[in-house]
Structure 1
């Protein structure tokens, strides 16, 4: 059985890291934010913990936990699809936010498994991508030509 501090750590880190991604989305005026993605990370971490706490202590992924993870990652697509909006002239908006929903579910799973280095590295890379990816795309479009994205706001 996991210790109380380990449960709090796993659930807390899942909520905080997922919430950080949500804060980025909220600051960019997207329809998803800190609370929503924080809840996604918390819920997925919780489900992984409940699936097989004994195997988590041993550092293994049991068959039951593997099936739970597969179900989470399949089902979370429906939440992500809810933030994709088809606008006028066949424009699709919200793909980055949908990807963030899926990413925070993955972060929750990894927190539930207690792989802290993976959580830290993935969070840093994701935040760097979210902060600098849009400006980099626009710069590269300017350098190499091509049609820049139609949106005026960074994703």
Structure 2
């Protein structure tokens, strides 16, 4: 941290913080998250200004050598980090179905704060590296996360009559749909020939859409009831 920054240096820090927050905020804006571009920019600029203010208050004259180490103006940017906890908590929401949303947005605001503290303290290279890593995480890893989320756990429940498909046929249909059986429950009624199956599957399917195996099983004779839960 330079002890005597000039206005050109301070302006460069603000511009770097603004542009970095702008690009990161665009990702949140495109995803229609609670904290968008303007929120990200304001949070980042506040952190940058706090670090710059602490830098300007680092007086180097009028103090003895042993007193200089006791100066604690850097508590100001530390207070910014503490306050970010409240803003980040406000971005996290718990839906009625139990799913928690906004964790990535809260983590992004926290990361932007630390990144802009680097810019505000004059560590432009460190702040630039943090900005590049943030873009790689938010944009580059998004495709990997989308691919991983294609695979979900689902429950298939079947009620079959006496003439219904055999267990081997059911397994073949499940295997042809690229689903994997994780757990299975079976109940037989020898007197009536009725069978109940409950499969816990790991399959590639979108929420709200029934995969091809549901249609294939529905066309089989003897299938009295089929339930699909994802």
1:4 aligns with 2:12: no
1:103-122 aligned at under 5 Å gives the runs: 103-122=111-130
Displacement over 3 Å in runs of 4+: 54-57, 140-143, 145-148
Hey, which of these two has a bigger chunk of helix by percent?
1
CA distance in 2, matches of 1:151, 1:65: 52
CA contact (8 A) 1:25 1:97 kept: yes
CA contact (8 A) 1:18 1:41 kept: yes
Query: CA distance change for structure 1 residues 111 and 151 in 2, over 3 Å: closer, same or farther?
Result: farther
Gaps of 5+ in 1: none
Structure with higher Rg: it is 2
CA contact (8 A) 2:55 2:121 kept: no
Aligned to 2:72: 64
TM score, norm. by length of structure 2: 0.56
Q: CA deviation at 1:88?
A: 1.5
Q: What whole-Å deviation, never above 9, does each CA across 1:71-130 have from its counterpart, x for those lacking one? A: 111111111111111112111101111111111111221011111111111111111110
Q: Residue 99 of structure 1 is aligned with which of 88, 94, 107? A: 107
1:52 aligns with 2:55: yes
Q: What SS does the aligned partner of 2:72 have?
A: helix
How many residues matched? Answer: 148
Q: Which structure would you say has the larger RCO, counting Cα contacts within 8 Å and 6 or more residues apart?
A: 1
Identify the range of structure 1 (23-32 vs 65-74) with the bigger mean alpha-carbon deviation: 65-74
Aligned to 1:17: 20
Q: CA deviation at 1:54?
A: 5.6
Q: CA deviation at 1:147?
A: 9.1
CA contact (8 A) 1:52 1:64 kept: no
Q: What SS does the aligned partner of 1:52 have?
A: helix
TM score, norm. by length of structure 1: 0.81
Query: CA distance change for structure 1 residues 36 and 141 in 2, over 3 Å: closer, same or farther?
Result: closer
CA contact (8 A) 2:13 2:122 kept: yes
CA distance in 2, matches of 1:103, 1:141: 24
Hey, which of these two has a bigger chunk of strand by percent?
2
